[in-house]
C-alpha cells in the first residue's frame, strides 16, 4: 500500500490525501449545503419514531455523504445543464474506487467519489437504477410545460431521492419496518413540493422552468403541497414538530442562497462528515 492513503470512508487516493482532507470538509461547511446536512438527523428521528434500531453513527455518516452529494450535484446541474447529470452518473457507476486528479478538481467530482465509497455491493445495483430514474425525472421536470406535469415530476424526484436514502441505509438497520419505506417516499415528495414553492420565482428567473407560472398555477402547487402534507401528518401526527423544522429549514436555506450568506442560526450542532476530517460545526438544530 505504498503511496496510498485510505480514509475512514473507505476512499483511497494516491498523493492526494491532503486534498481530500482539506477540500471535502470545506465543501461540507459551505452554508448553501447546511439544509442538506440537517436531513440525516431528521431521518434518524424517523427511525426512532418507527422504533427501528441501527448503528446511528454509521447511518448518519452514509446519509451525510449522500445528501451532500445531492446538494452539490443539484447546484452543478442547475449551473451547467442536465448533461452534467449524465456525467455525474457515469462517475458514480465507475466500478473501481479511487479519487483521481480530475475528480478532485471540481466539488461535484469529489463529493461523488466520496459518496460512491458508501455504496454497499448488495445495494449498489438498485441504487444506481434509482439514480438513472432520478436523472430522467429531472429531465422530464425541465421539459414540463404545465403545472400539473411539473408537480408530477417534482413528486417523482422527491420520491426517488428518499427511496435512494432508504436503500442506502437498509443494510445498517437491525430490522425492517413495512411502514418506513413508503413514509420516507411520501415525505420526500412533500419536501420537493415545498422546495418548489420556495424556489419557484428563482427557478423561473434562471430558466429552469419552461412555462411562466400564473397565479392559478401557484395556487395549484400550494394546494398539492397542503393536501399531501396534511395526509402525511394525519397518519403520523407525532412528527408535526419535525415537519415544522423542515419548513423553517427550507425557508432559511432559500435566504442563504438568495443573499449569499448564512442566516443567524438558533443553535449549532456538531455533524460528522464522512472521511478523514474531524467533526464539523454545521448551522442548525
Q: Give the pLDDT confidence score for residue 222 in this predicted structure.
A: 94
Asked if pLDDT for residue 264 goes beyond 60, the answer is no
Asked if pLDDT for residue 276 goes beyond 90, the answer is no
> Mean pLDDT, to the nearest integer, of 48-61?
93
Top mean-pLDDT range of 24-28, 224-228, 269-273: 224-228
Judge whether 4 lies within some domain.
no
- DSSP string across the chain: -TTEEE-TTS-EEES-HHHHHHHHHHHHT-GGGHHHHHHHHHHHHHHHHTT--B-HHHHHHHHHHHHHHHHHHHHHHHHH-THHHHHHHHHHT-SS----HHHHTSHHHHHHHHHHTT--TTTHHHHHHHHHHHHHHHHHHHH--SHHHHHHHHHHHHHHHHHHHHHHHGGGBSS--TTHHHHHHHHHHHHHHHHHHHHHHHHHHTT-SSS---HHHHHHHHHHHHHHHHHHHHH-GGGHHHHHHHHHHHHHHHHHHHHSS----S-EEEEPPSSS---EEEE--
Q: Give the pLDDT confidence score for residue 253 in this predicted structure.
A: 64
User: What domain range includes position 237?
Assistant: 15-254+261-283
Rounded distance, CA 167 to CA 107, Å? 24
Average pLDDT across the chain, whole number? 79
224 with 151: CB under 8 angstroms? Answer: yes
* Global confidence as pTM: 0.79
Judge whether 6 lies within some domain.
no
Rounded distance, CA 166 to CA 169, Å? 5
CATH of the domain at 144: 1.10.600
Q: Give the pLDDT confidence score for residue 263 in this predicted structure.
A: 38
- Overall domain count for the chain: 1
Judge whether 10 lies within some domain.
no
Q: Give the pLDDT confidence score for residue 209 in this predicted structure.
A: 93
> Mean pLDDT, to the nearest integer, of 145-173?
96
Dump pLDDT digits (tens) for 65-106: 999 999 999 988 888 888 888 988 988 888 765 656 666 667
> Residue 79: exposed, middle, or buried by beta-carbon count in 10 A (0-12, 13-18, 19+)?
exposed
Grid cell locating 227:
393536501
262 with 50: CB under 8 angstroms? Answer: no
Amino acid at each position: 500500500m505504498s503511496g496510498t492513503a485510505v480514509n475512514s470512508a473507505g476512499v483511497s487516493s494516491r498523493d492526494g490525501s491532503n486534498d481530500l482532507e482539506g477540500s471535502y470538509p470545506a465543501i461540507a461547511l459551505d452554508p448553501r449545503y447546511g439544509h442538506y446536512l440537517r436531513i440525516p438527523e431528521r431521518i434518524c428521528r424517523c427511525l426512532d419514531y418507527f422504533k427501528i434500531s441501527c448503528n446511528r453513527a454509521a447511518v448518519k455518516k452514509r446519509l451525510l455523504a449522500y445528501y451532500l452529494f445531492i446538494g452539490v450535484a443539484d447546484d452543478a446541474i442547475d449551473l451547467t445543464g442536465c448533461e452534467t447529470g449524465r456525467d455525474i452518473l457515469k462517475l458514480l457507476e465507475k466500478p473501481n474506487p479511487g479519487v483521481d486528479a480530475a475528480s478532485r478538481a471540481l466539488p461535484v467530482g469529489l463529493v461523488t467519489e466520496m459518496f460512491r465509497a458508501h455504496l454497499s455491493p448488495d445495494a449498489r445495483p438498485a441504487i444506481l437504477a434509482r439514480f438513472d430514474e432520478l436523472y430522467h425525472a429531472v429531465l422530464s421536470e425541465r421539459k414540463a410545460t404545465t403545472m400539473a406535469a411539473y408537480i408530477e415530476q417534482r413528486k417523482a424526484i422527491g420520491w426517488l431521492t428518499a427511496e435512494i436514502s432508504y436503500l442506502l441505509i437498509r443494510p445498517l438497520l437491525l430490522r425492517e419496518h413495512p411502514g418506513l419505506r413508503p413514509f420516507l417516499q411520501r415525505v420526500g415528495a412533500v419536501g420537493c413540493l415545498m422546495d418548489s414553492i420556495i424556489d419557484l420565482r428563482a427557478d423561473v428567473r434562471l430558466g429552469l422552468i419552461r412555462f411562466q407560472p400564473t397565479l392559478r398555477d401557484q395556487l395549484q402547487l400550494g394546494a398539492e403541497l397542503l393536501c399531501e402534507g396534511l395526509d402525511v401528518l394525519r397518519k403520523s401526527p407525532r412528527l408535526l414538530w419535525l415537519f415544522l423544522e423542515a419548513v423553517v429549514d427550507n425557508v432559511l436555506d432559500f435566504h442563504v442562497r438568495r443573499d449569499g450568506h448564512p442566516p443567524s442560526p438558533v443553535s449549532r450542532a456538531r455533524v460528522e462528515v464522512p472521511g478523514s476530517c474531524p467533526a464539523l460545526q454545521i448551522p442548525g438544530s
